[in-house]
Amino acid sequence: MELITKAPKGTVDKLPSEINKWHTVEEVAAKVAETYGCREIRTPTFEHTELFQRGVGGTTDVVQKEMYTFNDKKGRSITLKPEGTAGVVRAAIENGLLNEALPQKLYYFTSCFRYEAPQSGRLREFRQFGVEIFGADSPICDAETICMVNDIFRFLELDNVSLEINSIGCPECRAKYHEALKAYYEQYKDQLCDTCKERLERNPMRLLDCKSEICHGFAENAPIILDYLCDNCETHFETVKSTLDKMHIKYTVNPRIVRGLDYYTNTVFEFVSDSCGAQGTVCGGGRYNGLVEEIGGKPLSGFGFAMGLERLLMVMDAQNCAYSPAKQCDLYIAGTDPTSSAYAATLVRQLRQYGFWAECDIVGRSLKAQMKYADKINARFSMVLGENEINSGSAELKNMKTGEKLTVSIGDNFAEKVNSILMDIE
């Protein structure tokens, strides 16, 4: 019985009283992405499990430990998406978006699902805003996309986040790095967690972001990838940094960033803050030059990022950032009797054609109770309709804040007149 009145662990309701915060970040993120030429894409909430095994990587924590996977009624293995990139790549390939003019720039809002131990800033269902750019090899793409995140934060007036960048090279430099990592971890082999013992052979870089305390400790003195970059990868990274410098975007190089997903190549980055729980990362992303091909498309580079919106709001709250104001009822029209209430219903309908939030009594309340309700919902204006008002064709529009009253004709062009009055007040 108790279960059905409790949201599942690690999920949160986004309530009407806070929805203006969500609208603020969603509007800014979409608007900024559109100024960079990104168009919105919406992909399914679940995909075939193989997509994430291939795309995100079989040795990642996300795939090995955190996916919500189940068999559907026909026995197909289905997974709720743990992240947005793989689904967007799948959709871009399947729908021929990669045959259109390149670069193809896409953005999305999505729910993601990861079976993690919930804590502050870490949920089992969370929202991401993400961007994926296909077919842009230049390091300017990396810098420009990082700049997009920076612009979003700037528009939101956020300043308690910092940017950390790294390069994890291409498969060639990575092969040499893997050897160095294997040699390093060999000495601790017996102490590693079981998953990492197995990862050591298959994908030693994954040991660096293992969440177990003991493996985490060994990562601190492990060799760093920057010492193993080939000339091309090094030049690419240098140009990303110099372009960021020219854009006056501050960053630090953090050679420990490897990201928790397998598809990355070259530039990786994270925006971190100490106001979003133990996790700290508000936004993460990077280049993924092999992913499109891995998922069955043509060889085509990719670059993208995703920001966790719950974490972003935590950081904004901590900094007391301003949000767009919550929407408010513009006009409540009360009726003194059932005939007047029915008349009020026709008037609010007219107002809604102008986009006003207008309400009348649909409960059957007394006039006093209607006015109490108008107060409770914080209506900006109210009007009382009775036999007199209907017969005379005019009523008083009351400003609920100042108490000021204005007589308005309730006949033809009622909504137009109210519109001009309210516009004047604004």
Which residues, listed in sequence order, are joined to residue 126 by a DSSP beta bridge? 112
Comparing CB distances to ligand HAM, the nearer of 120 and 366 is 120
State residue 126 phi and psi, 5-degree precision: -140, 165
Member of 61, 132, 330, 359 binding ligand HAM (CB under 6 A): 132
Cβ atoms of 193 and 215 within 8 Å: the answer is yes
Size of the site for ligand HAM (CB under 6 A): 26
Q: Say how far apart CA 142 and CA 268 lie, in whole Å.
A: 9
For residues 266-305, which are near ligand HAM according to CB under 6 A? 281-286, 304-305
Comparing CB distances to ligand HAM, the nearer of 81 and 199 is 81
Q: Say how far apart CA 366 and CA 354 lie, in whole Å.
A: 28
105 touches ligand HAM (CB under 6 A): no
174 touches ligand HAM (CB under 6 A): no
Comparing CB distances to ligand HAM, the nearer of 257 and 379 is 257
Q: How far apart, in Å, are the Cα atoms of 213 and each of 14, 192, 370, 403?
A: 33, 10, 59, 63
Q: Give DSSP secondary structure letters for 189-214.
A: GGGS-HHHHHHHHH-GGGGGG--SHH
170 touches ligand HAM (CB under 6 A): no
Q: Say how far apart CA 358 and CA 348 lie, in whole Å.
A: 5
Q: Say how far apart CA 306 and CA 129 lie, in whole Å.
A: 5
Alpha helices in 134-254 (DSSP H): 139-155, 171-186, 194-202, 213-219, 231-246
Compute the least distance from the CB of residue 79 to ligand HAM, in Å.
Answer: 14
Compute the least distance from the CB of residue 61 to ligand HAM, in Å.
Answer: 10
For residues 83-102, which are near ligand HAM according to CB under 6 A? 83-85
Q: Name the closest residue to ligand HAM (Cβ).
A: 308
Q: Say how far apart CA 352 and CA 358 lie, in whole Å.
A: 6
135 touches ligand HAM (CB under 6 A): no
Candidates 43-51, 238-246, 307-315, 337-345; binding stretch for ligand HAM (CB under 6 A): 307-315
Candidates 95-103, 115-123, 165-173, 316-324; binding stretch for ligand HAM (CB under 6 A): 115-123
Member of 126, 177, 228, 414 binding ligand HAM (CB under 6 A): 126
47 touches ligand HAM (CB under 6 A): no
321 touches ligand HAM (CB under 6 A): no
φ/ψ bin of 212: left (φ > 0), alpha (ψ from -120 to 50), beta (otherwise): beta
206 touches ligand HAM (CB under 6 A): no
Could you report how far apart the first and last alpha carbons of the chain are, in Å? 49
Compute the least distance from the CB of residue 84 to ligand HAM, in Å.
Answer: 5
Q: Say how far apart CA 415 and CA 319 lie, in whole Å.
A: 41
Member of 116, 151, 330, 361 binding ligand HAM (CB under 6 A): 116
Cβ atoms of 222 and 181 within 8 Å: the answer is yes
Helix axes 139-155, 231-246, angle to 10 degrees: 30
Comparing CB distances to ligand HAM, the nearer of 260 and 335 is 260
306 touches ligand HAM (CB under 6 A): yes
Member of 260, 290, 297, 335 binding ligand HAM (CB under 6 A): 260
Member of 55, 290, 308, 335 binding ligand HAM (CB under 6 A): 308
Token reading at 253: 């190089």
164 touches ligand HAM (CB under 6 A): no
The dihedral over CA atoms of 371, 377, 378, 379, expressed in degrees to the nearest 10, equals -60
123 touches ligand HAM (CB under 6 A): yes
Half-sphere exposure of 417 (CA within 13 A, CB side): 14
151 touches ligand HAM (CB under 6 A): no
Comparing CB distances to ligand HAM, the nearer of 151 and 361 is 151
Compute the least distance from the CB of residue 346 to ligand HAM, in Å.
Answer: 47
Compute the least distance from the CB of residue 87 to ligand HAM, in Å.
Answer: 10
Q: H-helix or E-strand containing 315?
A: helix 309-318
Binding-site ranges for ligand HAM (CB under 6 A):
83-85, 114, 116, 122-123, 126, 128, 130, 132, 260-261, 281-286, 304-308, 310-311
